[in-house]
């Protein structure tokens, strides 16, 4: 999901840009050179998945693939998400350049937290992979909602609606994540 | 007999659903052209028959209707060209207007161009991502040597 341009306050934009930049720097440092092409593949999938887009209030909903991205890429998810979001903003006018930091932060952080919490469990078990996929989407919605509320308390209702609107998507992404991870494991791709 | 009656009832009940088409509406992005028709005396041509002929078909009207009390009638052109609007009061008075439409943006056109314009940026985006990856790989390799 993307937050549209001109919604978030300056403070939130600066803070999220700083956090995202740190995430990208660590991600680039931690990325194994042999995994860079694989990272590009995942980044491309994320870039294309966002073409299926539904607008809800000041934000928008679409397949994020944030769960599988986190589980597969780990820290490398930050540069992968950043490049994909930058190209989406430039080529499709999704999100925007000023909110790029905020959008990278919400998606990157959710993917990374999912990786830290469920990285090992999701590789072992189909159900955990489903939980990881669903959790990642709910977390993105919560972080996006928090950024809206930090901008203006009047966004509280919008933020609640945003999280609720993402619950069906969370279930769907959970299923996609479970099948994707088990398939990648079977074909021994991305060292799963 | 009871069974037959039940089957018939079910068929009749379901028929209601089969024939009930869903309907809806949305605001069109097309621009309407409002025209005002009047007699030479200044009197409005109220409630007169109006026919609109598109540039593609000069024989069959694309739209028919009546002017309002003030002699106004609006039509919505969806292709560029000369649109002909004929208003007649059925008593020998007939007014014909030809409106030249130059830059019409029909919704079908907008949709098809959006789909088309998304396809090329999508390929471009994927290509850029892989090019960035190759640049990073090459830089890492040159640093390693």
Q: A56 falls in which pLDDT band (50, 70, 90)?
A: low
Of A138-142, A149-153, B12-16, B102-106, where does mean pLDDT reach its minimum? B12-16
- Domain boundaries, given as residue ranges, for chain B: 27-104, 106-145
Q: Which long-range contacts (CB under 8 A, 24 or more apart) does A8-14 make?
A: A8/A99, A8/A102, A8/A147, A8/A148, A8/A151, A9/A150, A9/A151, A9/A152, A11/A150, A12/A102, A12/A147, A12/A150, A12/A151, A13/A98, A13/A99, A13/A101, A13/A102
Position A166 confidence tier, pLDDT thresholds 50, 70, 90: confident
Report the pLDDT value the prediction gives residue B30, as an integer from 0 to 100. 82
Q: Which of A49, A56, A53 is nearest to A165 (CA)?
A: A56
What is chain A's mean pLDDT, rounded? 87
Confidence grade of residue A143 (pLDDT, cut at 50, 70, 90): very high
> Which residue of B116, B133, B144 to mutate against A (max A Cβ within 10 Å)?
B133
The chain A residue lying nearest B117, using CA atoms, is A92
Nearest CA in chain A to B142: A33
Detail the DSSP E strand segments found in chain A: 53-56, 59-62
Instruction: Please tell me which residue of chain B has the smallest CA distance to A76.
Output: B133
pLDDT of res. B7: 60
Inform me whether the C-beta atom of residue B139 falls under 8 Å from chain A C-beta atoms.
no
Which of the residue ranges A55-59, A171-175, B32-36, B110-114 would you say has the lowest mean pLDDT?
Answer: B110-114
Band of residue A71 on the pLDDT scale cut at 50, 70, 90: very high
Residue B89 confidence (pLDDT): 82
**A49 at the B interface (CB within 8 A)?**
no
The pLDDT value given to residue B110: 39
Q: Which CATH class is domain B27-104?
A: mainly beta
Q: CATH fold of A10-186, please? A: Arp2/3 complex 21 kDa subunit ARPC3 (1.10.1760)
Q: What 8-state DSSP symbol labels residue B3?
A: H
Please compute the mean of the pLDDT values over residues A180-191 and round it to a whole number: 81
Q: Is the pLDDT of residue A93 over 50?
A: yes
Intervals of chain B under pLDDT 70: 1-23, 41, 104-117, 145
> What pLDDT sits at residue A113?
96
Within 8 A by CB and 6+ apart from A92, the residues are A50, A51, B118, B121
SS3 assignment, position A54: strand
């Amino acid at each position: 999901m993307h937050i549209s341009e001109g919604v978030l306050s300056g403070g939130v934009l600066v803070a999220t840009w700083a956090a995202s930049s740190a995430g990208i720097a660590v991600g680039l440092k931690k990325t194994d050179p042999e995994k860079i092409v694989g990272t590009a593949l995942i980044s491309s999938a994320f870039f294309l998945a966002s073409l299926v887009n539904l607008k809800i209030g000041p934000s928008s909903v679409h397949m994020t693939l944030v769960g599988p991205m986190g589980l597969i890429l780990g820290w490398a998810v930050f540069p992968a998400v950043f490049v994909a979001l930058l190209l989406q903003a430039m080529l499709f006018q999704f999100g925007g350049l000023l909110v790029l930091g905020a959008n990278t932060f919400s998606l990157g952080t959710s993917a990374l937290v999912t990786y830290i919490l469920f990285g090992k469990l999701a590789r072992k078990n189909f159900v955990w992979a489903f939980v990881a996929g669903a959790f990642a989407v709910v977390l993105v919605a919560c972080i996006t909602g928090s950024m809206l509320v930090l901008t203006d308390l009047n966004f509280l209702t919008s933020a609640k609606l945003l999280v609720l609107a993402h619950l069906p998507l969370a279930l769907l992404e959970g299923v996609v994540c479970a099948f994707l991870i088990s398939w990648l494991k079977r074909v021994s791709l991305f060292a799963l | 007999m009871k069974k037959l009656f039940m089957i018939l009832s079910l068929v009749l009940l379901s028929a209601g659903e089969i024939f009930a088409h869903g309907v809806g509406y949305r605001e069109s992005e097309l621009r309407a052209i409002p025209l005002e028709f009047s007699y030479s005396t200044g009197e409005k041509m109220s409630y007169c028959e109006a026919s609109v002929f598109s540039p593609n078909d000069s024989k069959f009207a694309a739209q028919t209707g009546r002017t309002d009390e003030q002699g106004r009638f609006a039509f919505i052109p969806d292709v560029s060209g000369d649109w002909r609007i004929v208003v007649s009061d059925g008593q020998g008075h007939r007014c014909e207007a030809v409106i030249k439409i130059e830059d019409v943006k029909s919704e079908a056109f907008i949709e098809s161009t959006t789909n088309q314009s998304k396809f090329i940026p999508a390929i471009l985006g994927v290509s850029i991502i892989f090019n960035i990856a190759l640049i990073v790989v090459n830089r890492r390799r040159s640093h390693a040597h």
